[in-house]
Chain A
Amino acid sequence: DVQMTQSPSYLAASPGESVSISCKASKSISNNLAWYQEKPGKANKLLIHSGSTLQSGTPSRFSGSGSGTDFTLTIRSLEFEDFAVYYCQQYNEYPWTFGGGTKLELK
């Protein structure tokens, strides 16, 4: 199975700052990577697929980059609504696997 390793597990930041979350795959997954946002009481939200393609409705302050084994989710100019848990997911091969999550907390 492809192991997905996210770092950091926790990240504290303030509104207006920019943050980056790393997701590393145990083998090459081309650009077959998605990013999701999890918030309490809400359905998970797809932010980005294909490594860097913003899903319709995702604010432009979110961006994704990378291919192969190393990927990054960047959020520029954080807003209060961005404080949440973020997961990456590879869909290059079965079984599809997720990273362990990164909790973005308010500093």
Chain B
Amino acid sequence: EVQLVESGGGLVQPGRSLKLSCAASGFTFSSFPMAWVRQAPKKGLEWVASISSGGGGTYYPDSVKGRFTISRDNAKSTLYLQMDSLRSEDTASYYCARRGYAGAHWFAYWGQGTLVTVSS
């Protein structure tokens, strides 16, 4: 069974940093591209980062480019999201998602999320 468990969320002041983790199990982590998707309170879903299976390719929307960094440790089956220069608009639940397969840009499996609150 595919499992994705996010951690690392919490309350952080504007301008500070936070690093999220996603522990993956139930599949060969190193074979699949991964992503982070967020959902602000009472809002819809927003894709925030993607990474290729080997980690060499990363992609971001303009809203987080230059502030967020996605990475992975295939030996540990863990996905990360380093979030710097946080803003109040980054307040959201952050979900780890596994893509269908290399070249499949849909999100086949999701975690249950970790809440990040950016506030002074």
In the bound complex, do residue A99 and residue B106 qualify as a contact, i.e. CB atoms below 8 Å apart? no
How many angstroms between the C-alpha atoms of A32 and B50 in the bound complex? 17
User: Does B102 touch A at the CB level, under 8 Å?
Assistant: no
B side interface size, CB within 8 A: 22
Q: Is the interface of B mostly helix, strand, loop or mixed?
A: strand
Contacting residues, chain B, for A34 (C-beta < 8 A): 106-107
How many angstroms between the C-alpha atoms of A70 and B62 in the bound complex? 26
How many angstroms between the C-alpha atoms of A94 and B62 in the bound complex? 10
Provide 25 A-B residue pairs closer than 8 Å at the C-beta atoms, listed in order of the A residue. Answer: A34-B106, A36-B107, A41-B112, A43-B4, A43-B110, A44-B97, A44-B110, A46-B100, A46-B108, A46-B109, A49-B100, A49-B106, A87-B44, A87-B45, A89-B47, A89-B106, A91-B105, A91-B106, A95-B60, A95-B61, A95-B62, A96-B47, A96-B105, A98-B46, A98-B47
In the bound complex, do residue B47 and residue A95 qualify as a contact, i.e. CB atoms below 8 Å apart? yes
A61 to B: closest C-beta gap in Å: 20
How many angstroms between the C-alpha atoms of A43 and B95 in the bound complex? 9
In the bound complex, do residue B109 and residue A43 qualify as a contact, i.e. CB atoms below 8 Å apart? yes
A98 to B: closest C-beta gap in Å: 4
Contacting residues, chain B, for A96 (C-beta < 8 A): 47, 50, 105
In the bound complex, do residue B61 and residue A94 qualify as a contact, i.e. CB atoms below 8 Å apart? yes
